[in-house]
Amino acid sequence: MTAVTGESALQGNGVLGQPLDIREDPQLLRGEATYVADIDLPGTAHMAILGSPVAHARILSIDTKAAQELPGVLKVATAADFTDVMPLPCIWIPGGVESHFPPHPYGLPGARPVLTGDSVRHVGDPIAVVVAETPRQAAAALAAITVEYEPLPVVTRADEALAEGAPQLHEAVPGNLNAYWTCGDKDRTDAAIAEAEVTVELDLVNQRTINSPIEPRGAVGDYNAATDEYTLYASTQGPHNHRFLLAALVLGIPFNKLRVIAPTVGGSFGTKGYLYPDMALVLLLSKALGRPVKWVDTRTGLMNSTVQGRDHRQHVTLAGTRDGRITAVRATSYANLGAYPSTIGPGVATALMGRSISGMYDIPAAFCEVYAAFTNTVSLGAQRGSGRAEAAFLMERLVDRYAFEIGMDPAAVRRKNLVPKEKFPYDNGLGWTYDSGDYRLNFDRAIELSGYADMPARKTEARTRGKRLGVGIASYVAICGVGPSTRMSKEGMLGGTWESANIRVHPTGEVTVTVGSASTGQSHATVFAQVAADELGIDPAQVQVLEGDTQKAPYGQGTYGSRSYSMAAPAVALTARKLKAKLVKAGAVFLGVPEDKVVYEGGGVHEEGNEENAKTFAELAMAMWYGWGLPPEIEPALDETTHFDPPDFNYPFGTHVAVVEIDELTGETEVVAYTAVDDAGNIGNPKIVRGQIEGSIVHGLGQALMEAAEYDEDGLLISSDLNHYALPRAADVPFFTLDKTTTPSPHNPLGAKGAGEIATVPPAAAVVNAVVDALGDLGVRHIDMPLTPEKVWRHLRGEAQ
């Protein structure tokens, strides 16, 4: 244990960074956690939502009379019942040419009304709600609502939505164009491409996928007429954000009349940070009926209403020299925003993707343009690795295509173009300034660990078994730590993006940490206790962690973009340091020595050179609780809060290597080995991060091999249940080979970088690179995901060229 004095008492007791057991796990393993569907308030009525069965139509009439008369039905409501409710807003407006629908009374872009009254714009577009005594009664009443539609033509692809004569979704949005957005230097990039020795181009489809948390969303509204207060229990990543959006921008009620509580949340991967109509509806209907109103989605409901991910169609170009130096990259992307702009969907589809396209490489000229368009599909939002995964996919596919063109090894091309260590902080020319990194160390470690040098021999061996072996590399940089609020405002984010923590030391020496973030499965209670315990020099078992209730937690923005450990944990650390500084000051009084003679160690204080003159943490806690003898400049009690707004983002990175074997008879692609070396800066609990890395990789493999949200020409989501939407299962993946490098971020006091989702960024590119490598001698240069056996089989037979 390191002893430190005075205000420089910054070093911890070493519990941070240790793979401590996860304190959440026993409760979860016993099935004792309460998720939103498990909440059963006395007198609860149940809500069901009628979603449109057609993708695009004018609503001519809605007849709810028959539904109203069914047994158990308490209320049937349509848009006409909520004319005084403001539309749900969109709060990330990335800039460029902008148009939205419908306008919001506060001058914000509106995302969508709570219920659709005039037209439906995607299958699942909510039209009416029923509240009944039981869930079954509510569902049965939906079938009795009669809606007359006048069908309209349908468009489901972004590029087609922008074409002349395409069906129009919103009167206020001519040509369906929500935004034309650019970053980088167009002229310089075009010139570099025109002058280049070599150029390669690809047309890519980064297919739409469905996040698929295993817990569907749900909400319980509970209005208390006696106090005129609303409580919302919801599966949310950000209870404070939902409180703000609902109270101020949708319901128009005083902020202090709405409390939002996130119970245990069963995964999210981006989806549960968005504002959905159901959240407002359960509150409004609870008030109308004077009873708690509960709604829990079905899987098919989720797939037709909860934000979906990816969905870019791109034309991308890379220029370089004959000897492997990349000189320019350019991307034109058609992003499919779905029928309405989701809460932050437009920003995900533009800035998060566009500014990230140069990846780990030092490229003199880069440019990205995005056409973000409305179509008759479910709204687009974040998905684990959002934007950055789409960027890495295009860049890493281009690098392989380029290496093939110039006859160089793809690893050698990458290595030659990595941003060198001495160039940090590094301006990537697209808007990001990478904070820190040793990319070559990371890259070389992954290549070595994967056994890359042995691949030619393994390929030969595989052919003797009727298999084609391929190897694919993908490197990435994933912006995380959203973020610096002022910087995000320039990115078009309407809201602060800082994070917070409060620490209260109780009179008996136990500690409660409360954070504004909210876990959706990231073991916050374990790792935030480690941060506080490490800083304060106490046992983590003494530290309780609370979050997820707006009435108890300090304001904060929630869990998204892998931000909690590099945003909330620094707030915890800084708060603990405030407490330590206070204890050193107070310690001087209690010990009767000057402040510079007070040593803070092991949670207590003692006089320098005299360990007999000491106070333990518990003694200090009680003394501060009493406050006896404290001078006027030292307040009693130990209760501090920090709102942490970092100077800039942080930039984790890594290199993954996939090895696949393709069955020559069936076209089936098996991932036989997968190596990942990720750098998330200083890690709080390696056990947590390992689990997140493994899960993230499997999520990425899902996109590469099997996942696709398929809409038919009428706009019907064909893959709208788990029979038709394939998620990776345990038998689909091998164990991985994992390692890490550690480059602390200078932008927070823990040196932390994002970790939760980063490993979702490269797997799709690594696997497609591996499959194209395996089929290269057949003339295959690219295959769009997902790499289903049928698709690969057609390439093996030469049918798909």
Binding residues for other proteins, rule: CB under 8 A, are 21-22, 24-35, 37-38, 40, 211-216, 264-267, 269, 296, 298-300, 520-523, 687-688, 690-692, 694-699, 721-723, 727-731, 733, 735-736
Nearer to other proteins, 60 or 730 (CB): 730
Give CA–CA dist 210/717, Å, rounded: 11
Least distance to other proteins, CB of residue 534, Å = 20
Nearer to other proteins, 301 or 603 (CB): 301
Nearer to other proteins, 500 or 526 (CB): 526
Give CA–CA dist 568/576, Å, rounded: 12
Bond from prior residue into 786 cis (ω within 30 degrees of 0): yes
Q: What are phi and psi for residue 405, nearest 5 degrees?
A: -65, -40
Least distance to other proteins, CB of residue 134, Å = 8
Q: Using the 8-state DSSP alphabet, how is residue 564 labeled? A: I
Strands 365-373 and 326-336: parallel
Least distance to other proteins, CB of residue 623, Å = 34
Nearer to other proteins, 27 or 508 (CB): 27
Give CA–CA dist 60/53, Å, rounded: 15
Nearer to other proteins, 212 or 417 (CB): 212
Joined together, the tokens standing for residue 168 give: 């129009």
Bond from prior residue into 31 cis (ω within 30 degrees of 0): no
Nearer to other proteins, 598 or 755 (CB): 755
Amino acid identity for residue 764 in this structure: A
Least distance to other proteins, CB of residue 296, Å = 8
Least distance to other proteins, CB of residue 354, Å = 27
Least distance to other proteins, CB of residue 670, Å = 12
Give CA–CA dist 392/359, Å, rounded: 6
Nearer to other proteins, 219 or 638 (CB): 219
Nearer to other proteins, 386 or 522 (CB): 522
- Where helices occur in 224-371 by DSSP H, the ranges are 239-244, 277-289, 299-303, 345-347, 353-354
Distance, CA of 84 to chain centre: 32
Residue (of 423, 383, 398, 39) closest to 231 by Cα position: 39
Nearer to other proteins, 121 or 699 (CB): 699
Q: Give bridge partners of residue 743 from the DSSP assignment.
A: none
Least distance to other proteins, CB of residue 687, Å = 5
Nearer to other proteins, 428 or 522 (CB): 522
Nearer to other proteins, 288 or 722 (CB): 722
Q: Which residues of 708-739 are buried (b: 16+ CB within 10 A; e: fewer)?
A: bbebeeebbbebbeeeebbebeeeebeebebe
Instruction: Give the contacts of 33 (CB within 8 A, at least 6 positions apart).
Output: 24, 27, 263, 264
Least distance to other proteins, CB of residue 464, Å = 22
Q: What is the signed CA dihedral for 445, 446, 451, 453, rounded to 10 degrees?
A: -80
Least distance to other proteins, CB of residue 755, Å = 13
Residue (of 25, 20, 32, 33) closest to 528 by Cα position: 20
CA distances from 277 to 86, 218, 347 (A): 11, 11, 20
Residue (of 515, 514, 522) closest to 557 by Cα position: 515
Please identify which residue in the block is written with the tokens 């209403």. 305
Nearer to other proteins, 634 or 727 (CB): 727
Least distance to other proteins, CB of residue 578, Å = 31
Nearer to other proteins, 31 or 407 (CB): 31
Give CA–CA dist 386/397, Å, rounded: 17
| Torsional sign, CA 777, 780, 784, 786 | negative
Least distance to other proteins, CB of residue 248, Å = 29
Q: Using the 8-state DSSP alphabet, how is residue 263 labeled? A: -
Taking phi over 0 as left and psi of -120 to 50 as alpha, with beta for the rest, 789 belongs to: alpha
Least distance to other proteins, CB of residue 698, Å = 3
User: What's the chain's length in residues?
Assistant: 801
Give CA–CA dist 783/801, Å, rounded: 10
Least distance to other proteins, CB of residue 786, Å = 17
Contact in structure between 333 and 313 (CB atoms under 8 Å): yes
Nearer to other proteins, 574 or 701 (CB): 701
Give CA–CA dist 327/304, Å, rounded: 43
Give CA–CA dist 377/369, Å, rounded: 22
Q: Give bridge partners of residue 293 from the DSSP assignment.
A: 45, 221
Least distance to other proteins, CB of residue 111, Å = 26
Least distance to other proteins, CB of residue 47, Å = 16
CA distances from 626 to 34, 614, 620 (A): 37, 18, 10
Nearer to other proteins, 197 or 721 (CB): 721
Q: Using the 8-state DSSP alphabet, how is residue 420 labeled? A: P
